[in-house]
Structure 1
Amino acid sequence: MKELENDFVKFWIEDGILYSQFKKPIIVNLERIKALIDLRTEISVGKKQYWCYDFKGIEYYDKEARDYAESHGQDNLHACAAVFHSHIAKFTLNTFMLLKKPVVPLKGFTQKKDAVNWLNEIKKKNEQSLFV
C-alpha cells in the first residue's frame, strides 16, 4: 500500500482505489486545496485514479477553494466518490452534479463501502472498454 501525507490530509492507494482522509478538522481554503491537489498529484505519479474522497473533518469549504478545485482538481482522475456524513450534503452534491455535468464523474455517498463499490463499477467498465 502506497501512502503520502502532509500536516492535514493522508492519501493512500489500496486495491486500485485512491483514498484520502483528513487528520483533523479543517477549513478548506485556497492554500489547503492547492496543497491537497499537489499531494494527490504526487501520489498519482501521472496515472489517473479512482478517488474515494472522505469529507469528514471539513468544517468549511470556502468558495475560492471550490472554484479552484473545479478548474484544477480534476486532473489525473477517472472518477471521484465523495463520502459525506450528512444525507443533505450528499443530496446537494448529487443534485448539483445532475445540473453541472462534470468532466470527471463525481457522486456523493454516505457510506464508504457504497462509494468504493461505485468506483469499482466504473473501473471495471473502463477496463472492459479497453478490450472492446
Structure 2
Amino acid sequence: MIAAHDLYENNYARFWIIDGILYFKYKPNTTINIKVAQSVVTDRIYFQNEKSYPILCDVRGVVGTEKAGRDYLAQSGSVLAQAVGLIVHEKVLLTISNFYLQISKPSVPTQIFTKEEDALIYLNGFI
C-alpha cells in the first residue's frame, strides 16, 4: 500500500517510490510535447527531494511524441536518475522508444522492456 504522501500526480503522470525505485507512469492518451515534458520533469525532481533513483518509466499511456518534448526529456529528463527502464507494450511504442534511444541518446543508462519484472531486475542493479 502506498501512503498519500508517497504518491504524486499531475495532469500527465503519477509517480511513487517503492524499495528504492521511483515508479513513473504516464496517464492514458498522453502526447509528450515540450509542455508535458517540462511539467513531468519539474514535478518529478521536486518529488524526489534531491535524491537520485533508478526509474521505472511506464510509457504505455503515451499516444504520441513531439521532437521538442523528446529532446527535453533526453537532455533534462535524466536529472536525479541513476538509470531508466522504459516499459512499453505496443510495437509502435517499441519503435518510438528505440528511435528515442538511438537519436536522442539519454545521458543515463536506459533500456526498453515489455515486462515490468524484467525492468525491475535491471533497475535493482542501480540501487
TM-score, with structure 1 as normaliser: 0.81
Structure 2 CA distance for partners of 1:96 and 1:70, relative to 1, 3 Å: closer
Alpha-carbon spacing, 1:33–1:92, altered in 2? closer, same or farther (3 Å) = closer
TM superposition outliers: structure 1 runs of 4+ over 2 Å: 86-103
Gaps of 5+ in 1: 124-132
Asked if the contact 1:93/1:107 (under 8 Å) is kept, the reply is no
Structure 1 residues 4, 104: closer, same or farther in 2, change over 3 A?
Answer: same
Distance 1:88 1:61, change over 3 A: closer
Alpha carbon RMSD of aligned pairs, Å?
Answer: 2.1
Q: What stretches of structure 2 of length at least 5 have no aligned partner?
A: none
Higher relative contact order (CA 8 A, sep 6+): 2
Q: Give the one of 38, 41, 45 matched to 2:42.
A: 38
Q: Secondary structure at the match of 2:126?
A: helix
Q: Percent identity?
A: 28
TM-score, length-scaled by structure 2: 0.84
Q: How many residues align?
A: 123
Can you list the C-alpha shifts for 1:67-112, whole angstroms capped at 9, x where unaligned? 1111111110100000001256446645764787643100000001
Mapped pair 1:106 → 2:116: no
